[in-house]
Structure 1
Amino acid sequence: MNFNFTEEQAMIKDSVARFIADDYDFDQRTKNVAMEHGFNPSSWQTFAELGWLSIPFPSAFGGFGGSAVDIMVIMEEFGKGLVAEPYVATVLLFGGLLARSGDGEIQQELIASIIDGSLQGGFAYHERQSRFELSDVKTTAVADGEQYRLTGEKTVVFNGAAANKLIVSARTAGDQCDENGISLFLIDTETDGVSVTAYPMMDGQQAANISLNNVGNAQLIGELHQGFGLMQAVVNDTMLALCAEAQGIMQKLTEATVAYSKTREQFGTAIGKFQVLQHRMVDMFVAGEQVRSLLYRAVCSADASNENATKDLLALKVMVGRAGKLIGGEAIQLHGGMGITDELDVGHYAKRLMMINTTFGDADYNQQKFLKLSASLGLRCMS
């Protein structure tokens, strides 16, 4: 199988890598996350000018029409640079829902605004009681003429404070955990009844809790009662992208640890010459390569839309969680006490890996989903 990138993919990869090397070192990243919404608006406009915001969208919306491989290329480089700008929240989640929901006038207008960098968005799906279950929705929507009114609370909304518009999951039929009866609605964050409480996450990026008190002018996105399938499809796309980001982080941590071991001396010699530490760094490398192999398999399955795509994705998410814990922990330990200081980037990379693990379900949760899916397909499951 040919795993070489196309000329366009190589250009995208080089473009992101050059930006990070020239304009996005760790000191600049630290300044960016200290800004009002946890990212630099100037960097975001650079993303737009370089065309990165258009990559996932079909040409019908003015986009590049990129594949899962194209997104993987971008996200892997973002991982290496620990990029904090809300590409996942605005482009992949908010934009992905718009793109998959239809080809209406509102989709055309909003996606064009995402591509030119003028619109920030977010996806409000998580609730206090829902843990990792997308279908656990208590927020309600009631008809108000041709539009709807929303009441409820959403938590951990990525980019929630900076977002101009949100897509909100709300229940329009069924019981609290039913997959049927969930609908998606577009709202403006300046609408009366919307209350935003922002806070930084452990990885430096920002999220917000969104309180909705009889919020009017909510516009239905997609089909009534059929929002769960749309949500799941976009979450799967985004989960794959996050795994690519994690792979970039793991590669960066492994390389940084090996480089440090060649310069840090103990007992008169570089610690990288101690065999026991060499074994630990080999374990880091092997874990990262296992993630890379599963990532390529999952990306190929996604682009081919084959029957194993979901199973491959779940297996990848499990491996990312476990390998991330190993690589992040080893990188911190082999750097010694300085590995956990804010002044060194190693701890920040490890924190981002932990956040990726918990987004859309941690390793244990996705392993259980993998086992259930395998059983439903008539495969023998092994614990």
Structure 2
Amino acid sequence: MDFSFTEEQALLRDSVSQYLQRHYTFEDRQTVVRSKVGWSREVWQGLGRLGLYALPFPEETGGLGGSIVDVVATAELLGAHMLVEPYVASIVLAGAALAAVPEHADAAHRLRRIVAGEAIGAFAHEEGSGMPDPALVATRAKRTANGYVLAGEKKVVLHGADADILVLSARLHGQRGDPDGLALFVVDPPAAGIAATPFVTVDGRRAAHLRFDDAELGPDALLAADAHDVILKVLDRAIVALAAEAVGAMGELLHRTAEYAATREQFGVPIGTFQAVAHRLADMKIAYVKARSTLLYTTALAEAGQAEPHDLAVLKAQVGRLGRMIGESAIQTHGGVGMTDELPIGHLHKRILVIDAMFGTTDHHLRTVGGGRPEPRPAIPVG
């Protein structure tokens, strides 16, 4: 396996990195986070001009036909800069769900809008338990003469209050825990019967709890009736992309902590010369290399269509465990100032913790690894 990025991917990374360094410094990000909207449409448009929206989607939808490797190559940089714009919500989750049902005419139309930067998508799936398994969905969808009626609640929907396109999971039949009976729907907010409670997440992103009180959807709102495997594919790809963001944040923590230790002096010498601090930095570097190596290996498996649930569980557990260790070590090295809002250290650590909580925590995935391979399911597709 080749674990290096291609020349084209390296050039794209350089372009994205240079753009973010010019337009998305930590101070710029803090201004954006404190704004009323909570994210920058100017930055979002700039990233669109670099091709980030179109990158992972098929050419027939206006995309560039990229692979999961392209997503990882750029997501790592977005994690280092703690991007709060709706990349995960719109591209990694909602866009991927729409792309997974290419035979649906409305899905293709909405995906083209996302790729063109005309619309923001959101993926309403989480219901309060981390949702590593789509079978845990309890939100109900009932068929009616005019379409469907939804009842239930979705938690922590990234950009759920300001999305133009909402993709959501619901249960047509069966009980919570049953893999059969799951469906995917799409709706263009605002819609009657859908109430949003917006808030800011601990890592500075905009999200909302969504409540469906007999919300009426038309018959064309159904994207997929047997959606368990479709949702799994979306979540699997999201785990890899989020792991890339976490690894990017880990690398930034390592870089900033090493720089701080080399310049912060006590007793007339840099603290990096103290044995305890030097050992801590060495442990951080080892943890970072292990996490990034696992990410690149799993990404290579995914591109080859060979990434299985066990591989993804190892990646999610490794990144969560090692990311927490790096974040805590960075804060310890900086001292109390590491937890203040004026430095990015605490913000990077929060981002890693939030990623760990999404789609199964470290403990959940460690149990998956320790208990052997789960039931076989489709590997991540190449496209």
Letter in 1 for 2:358: T
- Structure 1 match to 2:309: 310
Amino acid at match of 1:336: G
Residue aligning to 2:349:
350
Pair 1:88 & 2:88 matched? yes
Partner of 2:57: 57
Letter in 1 for 2:85: E
Cα distance in 2 between the residues matched to 1:19 and 1:81? 11
Could you give the per-residue CA deviations for residues 147-192 of structure 1, whole angstroms, max 9, x where no partner exists? 2111111111111111112111111111122111111111122111
Instruction: Report the AA paired with residue 66 of structure 2.
Output: G
Which residue of structure 2 lines up, in the alignment, with residue 321 of structure 1? 320
Separation in 2 of the partners of 1:164 and 1:223?
20
Q: Distance in 1 between matches of 2:45 and 2:74?
A: 16
Encode CA deviations 1:16-36: one digit per residue, 9 max, x unaligned: 101111110001101111223
Deviation of 1:38 after TM superposition, in Å, equals 2.0
CA drift at 1:220: 4.1
For residues 121-157 of structure 1, what are the alpha-carbon distances to aligned partners after superposition, in whole Å with 9 as ceiling and x for unaligned? 1111111467644322221111133621111111111
Q: Greater shift after overlay, 311-320 or 35-44?
A: 35-44
User: Are the equivalent residues in 1 in contact too, given 2:310–2:374 (CA < 8 A)?
Assistant: no
**133-142 or 75-84, which moves further after superposition?**
133-142
Q: 1:69 to 1:214 in 2, by over 3 A?
A: same
Aligned partners of 1:142 and 1:150 also within 8 Å: yes
Amino acid of the structure 1 residue aligned with 2:205:
Q
Letter in structure 2 aligned against 1:106:
D
TM-score by length of 2: 0.94
The answer to whether the Cα contact below 8 Å between 1:183 and 1:220 also exists between their aligned partners in 2 is no
**SS where residue 180 of structure 1 aligns?**
coil
Residue 207 (structure 2) pairs with residue 207 (structure 1): yes
Q: Which residue of 2 aligns with 1:163?
A: 163
Whether the aligned pair in 2 keeps the contact of 1:262 and 1:272 (CA below 8 Å) is yes
Letter in 2 for 1:198: P
Give % identity: 36
Pairing of 1:1-383 with structure 2 (within 5 A): 1-128=1-128, 132-145=132-145, 147-218=147-218, 219-224=220-225, 226-306=226-306, 308-374=307-373
Shift of 1:246: 0.8
Asked if 1 retains the 8 angstrom alpha-carbon contact of 2:139 and 2:171, the reply is: yes
Say which SS state the counterpart of residue 262 (structure 1) adopts.
helix
Q: Tell me, yes or no, if the aligned pair for 2:261 and 2:271 is still in contact at 8 Å.
A: yes
Q: Which runs of 5+ in 2 are unaligned?
A: 377-383
Deviation at 1:12, TM superposition (A): 1.3
- Structure 1 residues 129 and 335 mapped into 2: Cα distance closer, same or farther (>3 Å)? closer
Greater RCO (Cα-Cα under 8 Å, separation 6 or more): 2
Amino acid at match of 2:154: K
SS of equivalent residue, structure 2 residue 247: helix
In structure 2, the CA distance between the partners of 1:130 and 1:139, relative to structure 1 (3 Å rule), is farther
After alignment, is 368-377 or 52-61 more displaced? 368-377
Give CA-to-partner distance per residue, 1:313-366, whole Å, 9 cap, x none.
Answer: 110110111111110001011011110000111110000000011111110001
Residues in 1 aligned to 2:263 and 2:128: alpha-carbon distance in whole angstroms: 47
Q: Is the alpha carbon distance of 1:239 and 1:148 closer, same or farther for their aligned partners in structure 2, counting shifts above 3 Å?
A: same
Offset at 1:376? 6.4
Instruction: Answer whether contact 1:250 1:327 (CA < 8 A) is retained.
Output: yes
TM superposition shift of 1:40: 0.8
What SS class does the counterpart of residue 309 from structure 2 fall into? helix
- Write the letter of the residue equivalent to 2:224: E
Residues 16, 50 of structure 2: 8 Å contact kept: no
TM-score relative to the length of structure 1? 0.94
Shift of 1:107: 2.3
Stretch deviating more after TM superposition (236-245 or 215-224)? 215-224
Q: Quote the Cα distance in structure 2 between the aligned partners of 1:86 and 1:196.
A: 17
Structure-2 change in CA distance of 1:149 and 1:84 (3 Å): same
Distance 1:128 1:290, change over 3 A: closer
**Distance change >3 Å, CA 376–CA 170, structure 1 → 2:** closer
| Partners of 2:276 and 2:235 in 1: CA distance | 40
AA aligned to 1:76 is E
Report the Cα distance in structure 2 between the residues aligned to 1:62 and 1:103, rounded to whole angstroms.
16
1:45–1:117 CA contact under 8 A, matched in 2: yes
- Please, what is the CA RMSD of the aligned residues? 1.6
Distance 1:263 1:113 in 2: 48
- Please state how far the C-alpha of 1:8 moved relative to its aligned partner: 1.7
Give 5+ residue unaligned stretches, structure 1.
378-383
CA distance in 1: counterparts of 2:286 and 2:327, whole angstroms: 14
Equivalenced residues, count = 375
